Every structure is written in structure tokens, then in C-alpha cells.
Amino acid sequence: MQADNKIFDDFAKFINGAAGTLAGVGREAEAGARSRAREWIGGLDFVSRDEFEVVKAMATAARDEADALRARLDALEAKSAGTTTTPPSSPATGV
């Protein structure tokens, strides 16, 4: 009986070792696949989410500024049209 227990113990150690080795191989394969995927995606000129959010915020700020300037220009043109009786100078002639 003692010999049977030794065989089972050795077999259990072998299976545990093999399972650990297979788990390590799996982790290594996953890391390699992730690395290759990052390299491939990096070559496609994709941007990260952080970069996208920064550019989106910049575009929103620029749009808000353009809207404010447009409103200011419209107000100045309306004021100018109400007080000026002579036509504005032509940009082509500069007169």
C-alpha cells in the first residue's frame, strides 16, 4: 500500500507541475499576443482615448470661442449699420 501512495503522490506532483507550466505558457502567449496587437494597432495611426478627449475639448473650446466672436461681430455690424450712413470701404480697393 505504501508504494501505491508514493505513485499517486508522484503522479499528483507531476500533474500539478504540468498545470503550472501550462498556465505559465498561457500567460506568456497572452502577453505576446497583446504585444503584437499593440504594435499592429500602433501602426494604424489610431489615437488613445486620452488624446481623443483632449482634442475633443480643444475643438469644443474653439467652437465656443468662434460662436462668441461671431455674436460679437454681428453686434458690431448691427451697431455700425445703425450709425453709419456711408458704405464701408471695399476690401479690394482699400478705399
User: In the prediction, which pLDDT does 46 show?
Assistant: 76
Q: What's the mean per-residue pLDDT of the chain? A: 84
User: In the prediction, which pLDDT does 31 show?
Assistant: 93
pLDDT digits (tens, 9 = 90+) for 47-77: 889 999 999 999 999 999 999 999 999 999 9
Is the C-alpha dihedral spanning 13, 16, 22, 23 positive or negative?
negative
Do 63 and 69 form a contact (C-beta atoms < 8 A)? no
